[in-house]
Chains A and B, each alone.
Chain A
Amino acid sequence: MTVAGSPLAEGSLGPLRRLALAALALLLGAAVDARPASAAGAFPADTFTLANGLEVVVISDHRAPVVAHMLWYRIGAADDPLGRSGVAHFLEHMMFKGTAKFGPGVFSKNVARQGGNENAFTSPDVTGYHQTVASDRLELVMELEADRMRNLVFDPAALESERAVVLEERRQRTDTDPGALLGEHMSAAQYLHHPYRIPVIGWEHEIRAITLADLRRFYDRHYWPNNAVLVVAGDATLATVRALAEKHYGPIPAGPVEQRARPQEPPQLASRRVEYRDTRVGQPSVQRSYLAPSSTAGAQEHAIPLFLLADVLGGGGTSRLYRELVADAKIATGTGASYSGSSLDLGRFFVWVSPAQGHSLDAAEAAMDRVIAAIRDGAITEDELQRAKQNLLAATIYGRDSVAGTARLYGRVLTQGRTVADIQQFPERVKAVTVDDVKKAAAHVFDARRSVTGRLLKADN
C-alpha cells in the first residue's frame, strides 16, 4: 500500500462518499460476486474430494488462457496459540523459504520464470496461497504448492530475517496508521474472549517471541490435505485438474487434524468506548461496531438481511446515512456502514461518520445514533430494500468478470464448511428477504450493550 506510485498521480478515486461504497464492495463484492448457473455463460463449479480429504473446486472460464490456483487452509490467526499471536501469519511468510526439493527462493523464482504471479494471505479464519499462470503452466505451480504442504524446511537464519520483515510489516500497516491502531483497540474491546480480539499480524512483543518450534508445531498440526481446499479457476477443465491433483496432492497422506475449538463470547452486557488520540490524525472520526451474527455463527438467519442493511444504511450517495448526515444536515463529510458477515464466528456491523468542519465529533455521533435508532425501530422502507437488493444482485453479475474474485468466494465459503449450493442459492435468498426480515435483523444487531464506539482524534503533540 505504500510503494505503489505517487498518490499525486492517482486519479480514479472520486469523492469520499465513495469510500463507503468501496468498503462495501470490498466486503460484499467478494462475498457475493458469483452467480453460477444463472444467465447464459455462467461458470459452473465442480467439486470433488481426494482420498486424503483434500477438497477441490474447479471453476471453468475460458475467456483468457489463464488459470488461478489457490490453496486454502482451514486455519487462521484466530487459531494462534495463546501468547503466541502472529504464528499463523509468520508461518505464511516462512512458507516461501524453501523445501528439501526446492531450496530457498526457488518457489518464487520458478513461478516468475513461468510468467506467474503469486501471493499469500492470512485472515482470522484461513490462510491462503495463490498463483496465477498461463493455463499450460498449471502443473508447475501445483507441484510446488503440493511440495510445500508437508516438506517445508525451518531454517533459523531465515527465521530472524523474516521476523524483521514481519515487524516492518506491522509498523507499515498498523503502527504508522492511527486508524489501524484505533482498529486494534476496538477489536480488543469488541471481543471479550474470542481470539478475533487479537490482531492477525500479532502483538509486537509476541512476534518477537515466536520460535522456530512454535512455527513447526503449527505447521505440523494444521497443514494437511484434509484441512485444505484447492480452488482452480479459469482456463482449466475438470478432467485435467482431477488428474493433476491426484498426481501431486494425492500422494500426501491425511493428517491428524483436530476440529477448531475457539473460545466463544460470553453474553456482552456493557457498551464500551475507546478513544485514540494521535498527532498524525488529519480528520477526526467516530465509528461504532456491533457484535453481529455471521453466515455461520449466531442468529444466522440475519446474515443476508444484514448485508442488505449495510447497503441501505451506508451504501453510497443514496444511502440513509449519506442523505441524512451529509446531504441534508451537512453535519458530516463522510459516512458509511459495513458488515463482516462472512467470518466463521461472530462478526461485526460497522457504522462510521467523519464530522464536517465546524461540527463536533459528539454532534456527529449523536446524529449517527439518531439514524441507527430510527432503523432499529423499523424505519426501513420497501423502496430502500429494493434498491439494496438490486445493488447486491447486480454485484453478483458484475463480480463474474473477475475469475480471481470468483475463486476467492468459493475458497472462503468452502473453508467454512459451507457448500457450493450455498453460493448458488445466494441470489434467490437475497430476493426472498422481506422488509420485516431486515427490521428483525436491525433490532437484533443494534444493541448498545454489544457495541464499541471508537473515536479518533488529533493529539496536540
Chain B
Amino acid sequence: MVQRRRRSIAIALLVPFALAFAVLAPAAAPATAAARVIELVTPAGFRVWMVREASIPIVSVEIAFRGGSELDPPGKEGLSRMAAALMDEGAGEYDGLAFQRRLEEFSVSLSFGAERDTVRVSLRTLSENRDEAFRLLGVALGAPRFEASAVERIRGQLLADVSRRNEDSDFIAAKTWYAKAFPEHPYGRSSRGEPETIRAITVADLQAFAAARFTRGEVMIAAVGDIEPAALGALIDRALAQLPLSTTAPVAVTDVSVRTPGSLTVIRRKSPQSRVFLGLPGVKRSDPDFYAAYVMNYVLGGGGFTSRLYQEVREKRGLAYSVSSYLMTFRHAGLVMGGFATVNDRVAEALNLYKQEIARLAAEGISEAELADAKTYLTGSFPLRLDSNAKIAGNLLGMQIEGLGIDFLDRRNDYIRAVTIADIRRVASRILKLDDLTVVVVGDPQGLTP
C-alpha cells in the first residue's frame, strides 16, 4: 500500500551495492480484468484464479504457501529466506548450475521468496516453453537437493547481505522499531536473521522447512497469460499434485499489538541526516474499518505529492525529500507506519510537525473536499494497478491471501466510495493516538530528548 511517488534522479552509474527492492503489497484491481477473472479447479483439486490474456505470448504464475518467516524457529531466524534462496540451487537430477542453465535454455524465470506469512513462488515462461517451465517448477518443489556446497555458498551471501544491511540506517531503524514494538513475537525478529542465526541453520532445518511448507494444504495459485484454462490445470497438477498433504500442525502464530507505546529511541550514528521511522497500532486487513483507515492514510501521508504530511513537511518547509505514512497489514497485526529523513538539526522540528498532523487528523478528521479528492484518486487510480499481466497475477494472489473473494475487483471501488466523514473520524480517533507512537531515530539528531 505504499505510494512511493517522488521526483527521482536516474543516475547513470549503476552502483550494485545500493539497489532497493520494493515491498509488494497485496493490492486490488479494476474492472476490465475483473470481468475476466475465473476460478479454475484442476483435476487434482487445486483452485486457480486466472485471467486469460493472449496478446503477449507469455504466462505468469504466482503461488503462495502459508507460513513464512514468522515461523522461523528462535535462534534460526533467516531460515525461510535461506531455504527460498536454495530452491533453485539444485533439485532432482540437476545440480545448481545445471538447473539454472536449464531455466535459461528455455527462457524460464523461476524465483522463490519468503514473506512474513507466506512463501512465494513466481514462474514466468514464454507460452511455447510452458511444458518445460512447469516441469522444472515441479522438480524444484518436489526434490530440492540442499547440497552442502550450495548451502554454504548461499549462507555466505546471506551473511554478507546482513552485514551490509546492519550498517544501513534505514534497515537499522526498521529492525529496531519492530524489535521494540513486538518484543516477544515473531514480528519482532528480523526475517533476514543475524549472523549467528544464519550460521546456526543446518541442512536438516532446510529439509524440514521444505517438507513442512511445500504441501498441498494451504497453497494459493494465480495465473495470467496466453494459455487455455484446461491446459493450465493440467500443468499445475503436473507440478503440484506430487506434493504431500499437510503433515504438520496448523500455523501457531498469535495476534499481537504494539508493546511500546510512547517510546522514542535514538541510535547515535555519524551521519549528516537522521532517519526517522515511526508507527502506531493500526487495523488489520480484515477490520471493518480497513477502508476508512485506508482513505484516512491517503489524506495523512499516502497521497504522493498531495498528502498533508507532504505539504507540511516537504512543500512548505523543505524539511525532507520523502515523507509518508502507510498502512501495514500483517496477518496478526495492523500498523500505521511512516517516516522521513532530514538534516540532524531539524529532526525535532520535523517530528513535531509529523505529530501535529497525526493529532490534527485524530481531533478534526478530514474535510468533505479532502474525502472527495481521496475517493476520486483512489477509485480512479485503481486500473493503474492492473495494467500488466504481472500486476494482475500479483493482485489475484493477494486477494486469495487476504481472503477477499474472486469478485473483489468489481467491488473494491464501492468499498472506497462508501467511506464517510464519520467513518474516518471514528477510525482516526481510534488509532491515531500520539501516546501510542513508537519512534526510532537513527543518526545524530540535535535537540531531541528521549
Contact = CB atoms under 8 A, between A and B. Distances in A.
A246 B114 CA distance: 50
A285 to B, nearest CB: 6
Contact of A134 (B54, B343, B383): B383
A281 B387 contact: no
B15 A66 contact: no
A114 B382 CA distance: 11
Contact of A121 (B8, B275, B324): B8
A64 to B, nearest CB: 4
Contacts of B316: 161
B282 interface: no
A15 to B, nearest CB: 4
Nearest to A13: B21
Interface in B32-56: 32-33, 53-56
B154 interface: yes
B438 interface: no
A112 interface: yes
Nearest to A187: B13
A368 interface: no
Given A112-B304, A121-B7, A282-B163, A168 B341 contact: yes
Contacts of A356: 156, 160
Nearest to A12: B113
B343 A168 contact: yes
The interface size bin for chain B is: 35 or more
Interface in B250-287: 269-273, 275
B305 A282 contact: no
Given A354-B160, A387-B104, A9 B13 contact: no
Contact of B341 (A5, A171, A187, A280): A171
Interface stretch (A148-156, A172-180, A208-216, A252-260): A172-180
Interface residues of A, number: 125
Contacts, number: 360
B12 A123 contact: yes
A8 B7 contact: no
Nearest to A184: B13
B112 to A, nearest CB: 7
Among B8, B54, B386, chain A packs the most CB atoms within 10 A around the CB of B8
B174 A122 contact: no
Contacts of A16: 157-158, 160-161
A327 B97 contact: yes
A183 B57 contact: no
Contact of B14 (A27, A124, A285, A391): A27
A75 interface: no
A234 B28 CA distance: 20
Contacts of B387: 63-64, 66, 132, 234, 403-404
19 contacts: A3-B4, A4-B4, A4-B22, A5-B25, A8-B175, A11-B191, A15-B157, A20-B16, A64-B30, A96-B305, A108-B304, A109-B306, A119-B8, A120-B7, A133-B384, A176-B271, A397-B58, A400-B56, A403-B387
Interface of B: 2, 4-25, 30-33, 53-58, 60, 68-69, 80-81, 84-85, 89, 96-97, 100-101, 104-105, 107, 109, 111-116, 120, 124, 126, 149, 153-154, 156-161, 163-171, 174-175, 177-178, 190-192, 269-273, 275, 303-306, 311, 314-324, 326, 328, 330, 337-343, 373, 376-384, 386-390
